[in-house]
Amino acid sequence: MLRQASAAHQDVAPELERLRVKAVAKAREYLMARIYALRKPKTNIQILQQNMLLRFRYLVTFLRAHGPEVFGEVRPRSFDNMQLGFLSSLRNSACRHWTWQNFTMRLLLCEA
């Protein structure tokens, strides 16, 4: 409390807030680009998770602490993207390997 009441803090607070907003915006932009890169066809999601996203887990921690509104936007998009990727991968795999014996299931999954 003492720190926030000081004149020095009042002088620097607007600049610190501007820097926080800029850092949160850049972190969001970077993470969203990486998340959308997972949508490309024939992407090895596990390798991308381990090599790229896991290295930037501290960026997510930063967003959680300093930009909860942006974190609340990035997290669901990440989950939705992973869900779509796994569903698409499962659908493609099932459509390739099923035979005509399972014709009705093939129609339901592969034509959707």
Pairwise CA distance, residues 53 & 30, whole Å? 11
pTM, 2 dp: 0.65
Q: Across the 112 residues of the chain, what is the mean pLDDT of every consecutive 10-residue run?
A: 71 93 94 80 71 81 91 84 73 64 60 55
pLDDT at 1: 47
pLDDT at 110: 63
Calculate the CA 87 to chain-centre distance: 17
Task: Give me the count of residues in the chain.
Answer: 112
* DSSP labels, the chain: -HHHHSHHHHHHHHHHHHHHHHHHHHHHHHHHHHHHHTTSTT--HHHHIIIIIGGGHHHHHHHHHH-HHHHHHHHHHHHHHHHHHHHHHHHHHHHHH--GGGHHHHHHHH--
pLDDT at 57: 84
